[in-house]
Amino acid sequence: MAKQITKKIKLQIPAGKATPAPPVGTVLGPAGVNLQEFCTKYNDATRDKMGDILPVEISIYEDRTFTFVIKTPPAAFLIKKYAKIKKGGTKGQNETVATLTKDQVKEIAEIKLPDLNCYSVEEAMKIIEGTARNMGVKVSE
């Protein structure tokens, strides 16, 4: 019989830098997960993406074992990275803080495609453009 999932936890952790300290420890500790084992497995799995913040979905089973799925970085994180800015505009689309080219938007869309609710890169580009617009990042032709 399949193991019973008792809890699902979602976290956003910098790639390759998970430690038993907060926020990882405070969330996984009460769930009974071996923190050091999780940190070691997560860091090994994300070593090639150093510097990125990655969402991770952790399934905890009744025998205190776990599995996790690493998602693609958040769209806002990728937009800030490609636009080379620290944060988006405070007034949303009424304030332009940076500009992205269509090619950069396409690159971000290709990275995000597996986690987005769409089937083609063109549809993913529209989603990324909307996110960028709301962050005050203009998309040039």
In degrees and rounded to multiples of 5, residue 75 shows phi and psi of -60, -40
31 and 55 co-located in one domain: yes
Expressed as residue numbers, the domain containing 28 is 5-70
79 and 61 co-located in one domain: no
65 and 94 co-located in one domain: no
10 and 62 co-located in one domain: yes
SS3 35: helix
Per-residue pLDDT of the chain (141 residues; tens, 9 = 90+): 567 878 888 888 887 777 777 777 788 777 777 788 888 888 888 887 777 788 888 888 888 788 888 888 888 888 888 877 877 777 766 777 777 788 888 888 888 888 778 888 888 888 888 888 888 777 777
93 and 133 co-located in one domain: yes
Tell me which residue of 31, 29, 80 sits closest to 53, measured CA to CA.
80
Q: Can you tell me the distance from the alpha carbon of 77 to that of 1, in angstroms, rounded to the nearest whole number?
A: 40
Instruction: Name the residue type at position 77.
Output: F
Q: What sign results for the dihedral spanned by CA atoms 14, 25, 4, 45? A: positive
Domain boundary among 70, 89, 106: 70
Q: Is the pTM of the predicted complex or chain greater than 0.95?
A: no
